[in-house]
Amino acid sequence: MRQTFDLALLRTFTTVVDSGGFTAAARRLNATQSTVSMQIRRLENAVGRPLLRRDGREVALTADGERLQGHARRLLQLNDEAWRDLAGPEVSGTLRLGIPDDYAFYIPEIVREFSEQYPGVDLRVQCDLSVALVELVRAGAIDMALVTRQPNSPGGEVLRRERLVWVAAQNHAPEQRDPLPLSLFPREACIFRDNAVRALNAAGQPWRAIYTSKTLSGQQAFVGAGLAVTVLTPSQVSRDLRILDEGEAGLPALPWIELALHRQPGRPTEPARRLTELFRQRLGMEQAAA
């Protein structure tokens, strides 16, 4: 007797794989974690074998899960192609997106998803400092920019709020040095730096900047070597780094920052409208946890 896969279950399955866990997949699917878990169990019951190995919050594919995911992606691709064909004219054109390097980790999955949904759109991504990207949008050099909102560049649509945290390397304690060694983004170009310096000065805590870099990778590498403390958001903290407890480290509390989407004035192009909706779905579903 022929059996038919439930495409909704396959989409949940591939989303869990791409997201690396049930919690992140639930956010992407705008569902509860219990719903995602139930759908995975239904799929595993249907095929009669486990597809994912659960290790704490992380998941990994079993051998059968590895075999299924290729088939699942092809089935979903055909499904999406059929709906696009029936939906009307294909969305096409060029879309220029700007994003700072320190938020580039948000982009790969969203770009992949957008490219799969709208293969006729030529999406081009440019990295630069937030203040520079806002100016490029205003000048018409790019269509939209996802940036950290700056005091001197207000506006845009706020999609997400994240708290700032003090960060140091695992198995190192640079926070115990006096003056406090800091790894910072450039002066007058990053609200992360401004908030860190303002908080330390207000608390009367001595500090010195021993490293400056425009890139998140540069900050992570230097701080990861145990040489300094920096300021990031929790989603930017790599595995070789740790979030410092402000009370234990004797460091002042830090504020929250806002991730905002800036677009050219006037009616957006269809590609810009579609990408805006995707950003709202993927980044704007919930405020980052405190």
**Residue appearing with tokens 């929250």:** 256
pLDDT surpasses 80 at 89? no
Residue 187: how many CB atoms within 10 A of its CB?
11
Tokens coding 97? 């997106």
Asked if 143 and 97 touch (Cβ cutoff 8 Å), the reply is yes
How far apart, in whole angstroms, are the C-alpha atoms of residue 35 and residue 57? 16
| Domain 7-87: top CATH class | mainly alpha
- What pLDDT does residue 260 have? 92
251 burial level (CB within 10 Å; 0-12, 13-18, 19+) = buried
pLDDT surpasses 90 at 105? no
pLDDT surpasses 70 at 56? no
Q: Identify the residue with better confidence: 179 or 265.
A: 179
Asked if 22 and 33 touch (Cβ cutoff 8 Å), the reply is yes
7-87 matches 93-161+258-283 in fold: no
Average pLDDT rounded to a whole number, residues 16-38: 87
- What pLDDT does residue 287 have? 45
Residue type, 64: D
Instruction: Tell which CATH classification among 3.40.190.10, 3.40.50.2000, 3.90.1150.10, 3.30.420.40 matches the domain 165-254.
Output: 3.40.190.10
Average pLDDT value for the chain: 88
Instruction: Tell which CATH classification among 1.10.390.10, 3.40.50.700, 3.40.190.10, 2.60.120.10 matches the domain 93-161+258-283.
Output: 3.40.190.10
How far apart, in whole angstroms, are the C-alpha atoms of residue 39 and residue 231? 38
Tokens coding 164? 């700032």
pLDDT in tens, 203-247: 999 999 999 988 888 889 999 999 999 999 988 888 889 999 999
DSSP string, the chain: ------HHHHHHHHHHHHHTSHHHHHHHHTS-HHHHHHHHHHHHHHHTS--EEEETTEEEE-HHHHHHHHHHHHHHHHHHHHHHHHH-SPP-EEEEEEE-GGGGGGHHHHHHHHHHH-TTEEEEEEE--HHHHHHHHHHTSSSEEEEE-BTTB--SEEEEEEE-EEEEETT--GGGSSSEEEEEPPTTS-HHHHHHHHHHHHHT--EEEEEE-SSHHHHHHHHHTTS-BEEE-GGG--TTEEEPPHHHHT-----EEEEEEEE-SSSPPHHHHHHHHHHHHHHSSSPPP-
Q: Where are the domains of the chain?
A: 7-87, 93-161+258-283, 165-254
- What pLDDT does residue 47 have? 95
pLDDT in tens, 156-215: 999 888 899 999 999 999 999 999 999 998 876 678 999 999 999 999 999 999 999 888
- What pLDDT does residue 286 have? 45
Rg for the chain, CA atoms, rounded: 22
